[in-house]
A and B are shown apart, each in its own frame.
Chain A
């Protein structure tokens, strides 16, 4: 008998092969990286030049200064650099939407596509377990979401190296930043993909699953707006608490997913 991992990787590779045949699924995700990064670059780099008003003179500078008193690395930057770093940190939360929204279409298509092609029943005749099936169906979109997240990070670092104040790019490697990219990003992405997979079992239209999975974008957007309006930054403790909540959410979604993905349920109830 093959191992669970060999079955999961065989099916996930198959999904990846199918994605490669459909550039229409990947291009919007790639476009999303640019689209969601533009507001940050506009606020950080374009608006101050257009208006002739440096960020050091804006309301952000005061909040950044307060933060600089707690974070020595920030204190070493120029005033403009401090404001840039502060705004950049606020936008990091917003950038989490890139992997979530970019990979949802893939997760939805991975299930709905099998239903439409009537290829689920043959698949279920193999020794793959339902948990393996669920993991395999989420794996390819998850890997893509992580690539998108890494690409977003690279874009921010490159832009700040090219046009930012000296040293600002280094703030993109702060523990807070890494916590967002390496812990919150994957957890949020996984929750969205599991939601899309579960919803896909009940609908025949990938877009419906995508839209419902996209509900997870709402708390992220809310957090971003709250940060921007209140001009505060969530600390490491708050981010860790959020990660803990997301772990619980993911465990619950996995539990629901395995129940929804029972062979009999798929054959009898999935339409």
Chain B
């Protein structure tokens, strides 16, 4: 098992009366991507800011590369973490190289010129190194910002909505970069609203809404809801059989064209539901357990928390 790079223990941050992050605990290993999902205002950015040593927790603790988070160790933490902020925040009048070189110096990188060349090549911007950052497209700016976040070779990389607002091709490039970071053995945390992206990229997904609602592999998260619903495909308009299903003891069914999706307490009640539908005159094509999408799982978790 690779080493734990980032660990949060009961991480809590209160802003005056509002609790932005509440008792958050999780860990991220080297070479692992953890996606942070949650609605707007769920505390994802605040979590990143705490892990990057920018904000101190009100309660709880976090370690990055073994260093515990405190005002005294914040500088050391910052040297181990690379944070891609929500806005790329490049100095647009300067060249891409100048941007990165300044950061390499601020981090005290031993060979700034060599390191800047390396990261520019890694993010595919070597040929645009001497262009003004302001002249880059949004996708290229994001790549430059990722290069900036790793210029000091951090063990942990935090990416706050790295593909937000990008066109599909640029978003795919950024996802490739994230995979590259994982392959390099870094612990990567990605916050995103794109559930498909989270599922595609992440080894594990943490769903949060101030507090942690779930943290598991994408498959395990989906399977949490599996078995709780059954899909009955009938001939014709399925809405005609809703009352029959209700009467047979199913929960409130959802209608999607010729499909009835009904919550069931256990697989044992499924034959009774089918019998009730047949008795009511429904012609059934097939009955299958419902495969919930990550989106359904996510929405279910967030709704239940609300």
Q: A17-B94, A18-B94, A126-B78 are in contact. Are A2 and B107 (CB under 8 A)?
A: yes
| Interface 0/1 of A1-21, CB less than 8 Å to B | 110001100110110011001
Contact residue among B56, B79, B91, B98 (Cβ-Cβ distance under 8 Å from A1): B79
Contact residue among A13, A17, A126, A263 (Cβ-Cβ distance under 8 Å from B103): A126
What's the least CB distance linking B197 to chain A, in Å?
Answer: 23
Q: A2-B105, A118-B85, A127-B78 are in contact. Are A267 and B94 (CB under 8 A)?
A: no
Q: What CA separation (Å) do A221 and B79 show in the bound complex? A: 48
Are B90's CB and A125's CB within 8 A? no
| Interface 0/1 of B68-109, CB less than 8 Å to A | 000000010011011101011111111000100011011110
Chain A interface residue number, banded: 20 to 34
Instruction: Chain A residues near B82: list those with CB within 8 A.
Output: 125
Are A122's CB and B106's CB within 8 A? no
Are B106's CB and A128's CB within 8 A? yes
Say if the beta carbon of B234 comes within 8 Å of chain A. no
Say if the beta carbon of A57 comes within 8 Å of chain B. no
Q: A118-B85, A263-B54 are in contact. Are A6 and B105 (CB under 8 A)?
A: yes
Are A14's CB and B89's CB within 8 A? no
Interface residues of A in 85-139 (CB under 8 A from B): 117-129
Are A1's CB and B81's CB within 8 A? no
What residue of chain A has the Cβ atom nearest to residue B74's Cβ? A263
Instruction: Chain B residues near A129: list those with CB within 8 A.
Output: 75
What residue of chain B has the Cβ atom nearest to residue A10's Cβ? B105
Are A1's CB and B108's CB within 8 A? yes
Are A126's CB and B107's CB within 8 A? yes
Are A122's CB and B148's CB within 8 A? yes
Are A127's CB and B93's CB within 8 A? no
Q: A6-B108, A263-B54, A267-B55 are in contact. Are A14 and B98 (CB under 8 A)?
A: yes
Are A127's CB and B89's CB within 8 A? no
Instruction: Chain A residues near B79: list those with CB within 8 A.
Output: 1, 127
Q: A11-B102, A11-B106, A118-B89 are in contact. Are A125 and B78 (CB under 8 A)?
A: yes
| Interface 0/1 of B43-61, CB less than 8 Å to A | 0000001001111100000
Are B85's CB and A127's CB within 8 A? no
Q: A17-B94, A18-B91, A21-B93 are in contact. Are A122 and B102 (CB under 8 A)?
A: no
Say if the beta carbon of A264 comes within 8 Å of chain B. yes
Are A267's CB and B49's CB within 8 A? yes
Say if the beta carbon of A22 comes within 8 Å of chain B. yes
Instruction: Chain A residues near B89: list those with CB within 8 A.
Output: 117-123
What residue of chain B has the Cβ atom nearest to residue A8's Cβ? B106
What's the least CB distance linking B236 to chain A, in Å?
Answer: 56
Q: What CA separation (Å) do A267 and B53 show in the bound complex? A: 12
Q: What CA separation (Å) do A52 and B88 show in the bound complex? A: 65
What's the least CB distance linking B143 to chain A, in Å?
Answer: 14
Interface residues of A in 158-201 (CB under 8 A from B): none
Q: What CA separation (Å) do A124 and B15 show in the bound complex? A: 20
Instruction: Chain B residues near A14: list those with CB within 8 A.
Output: 91, 94, 98, 102
Are A18's CB and B54's CB within 8 A? no
Q: What CA separation (Å) do A128 and B75 show in the bound complex? A: 8
Q: A125-B54, A126-B78 are in contact. Are A10 and B90 (CB under 8 A)?
A: no
What residue of chain B has the Cβ atom nearest to residue A264's Cβ? B55
Q: A119-B91, A268-B15 are in contact. Are A2 and B145 (CB under 8 A)?
A: no
Instruction: Chain B residues near A2: list those with CB within 8 A.
Output: 105-108
Task: Determine which residue in A6, A11, A122, A123 has the highest number of CB atoms from chain B within 10 A of its CB, and name it.
Answer: A122
Q: A14-B91, A117-B91, A264-B55 are in contact. Are A122 and B145 (CB under 8 A)?
A: yes
Are B105's CB and A125's CB within 8 A? no
Instruction: Chain B residues near A123: list those with CB within 8 A.
Output: 89, 106
Q: What CA separation (Å) do A48 and B105 show in the bound complex? A: 57
Are A118's CB and B102's CB within 8 A? no
Instruction: Chain B residues near A120: list those with CB within 8 A.
Output: 89
Q: What CA separation (Å) do A270 and B97 show in the bound complex? A: 28
Are B75's CB and A127's CB within 8 A? yes
Are B93's CB and A22's CB within 8 A? yes
Q: What CA separation (Å) do A202 and B21 show in the bound complex? A: 27
Instruction: Chain B residues near A11: list those with CB within 8 A.
Output: 102, 106
Are B87's CB and A118's CB within 8 A? yes
What residue of chain A has the Cβ atom nearest to residue B104's Cβ? A10
What residue of chain A has the Cβ atom nearest to residue B132's Cβ? A21
Contact residue among B53, B54, B108 (Cβ-Cβ distance under 8 Å from A121): B54
Instruction: Chain A residues near B108: list those with CB within 8 A.
Output: 1-2, 6-7, 127
What residue of chain B has the Cβ atom nearest to residue A7's Cβ? B106
What's the least CB distance linking B293 to chain A, in Å?
Answer: 34
Instruction: Chain A residues near B92: list those with CB within 8 A.
Output: 117
What residue of chain A has the Cβ atom nearest to residue B110's Cβ? A2
Contact residue among B56, B102, B107 (Cβ-Cβ distance under 8 Å from A264): B56
- For the complex of A and B, list the 4 residue pairs with the smallest distance between their C-beta atoms, beginning with the closest: A2-B108, A10-B105, A118-B87, A119-B89
Residue numbers of B with Cβ under 8 A of A are: 15, 49, 52-56, 75, 78-79, 81-83, 85, 87-94, 98, 102-103, 105-108, 145, 148-149
14 contacts between A and B (CB under 8 A): A1-B79, A6-B105, A10-B102, A11-B102, A13-B102, A17-B93, A18-B93, A119-B89, A119-B90, A122-B83, A125-B81, A125-B82, A125-B85, A268-B55
Residue numbers of A with Cβ under 8 A of B are: 1-2, 6-7, 10-11, 13-14, 17-18, 21-22, 117-129, 263-264, 267-268
